[in-house]
Amino acid sequence: MRDRLILLPGWGLGVSPLEPLAAALRGLDEHLRVDIEPLPELDSSDLEEWLDELDATLPDNAWLGGWSLGGMLACELAARRGERCCGLLTLASNPCFVAHDGWPCAMPAQTFDAFLAGCHADSQVTLKRFGLLCGKGAADSRGLARLLVSGAPNTPSSALKHGLDLLAQLDTREALLAYRGPQLHLFAAMDELVPAEAAGALLKLLPDIEVGLIEQAGHAFLLEDPHCVAGAIQAFLHECGDD
Identified catalytic residue from 162, 185, 219, 225: 219
CA angle 74, 17, 229 (to 5 degrees): 70
Query: Active site includes 150?
Result: no
Which residue in the list 141, 162, 171, 191 is annotated as catalytic?
191
Give CA–CA dist 168/213, Å, rounded: 24
Does the annotation mark 29 as catalytic?
A: no
Q: Exactly one of 68, 93, 123, 141 is catalytic; name it.
A: 68
Catalytic, 140? Answer no
Q: Which of 109, 108, 85 is nearest to 176 (CA)?
A: 85
Sheet architecture: strand order including 183-188: 33-36, 4-8, 62-67, 85-91, 183-188, 210-214
Q: Contact 138/16 with Cβ under 8 angstroms?
A: no
Residues marked active site are found at 68, 191, 219
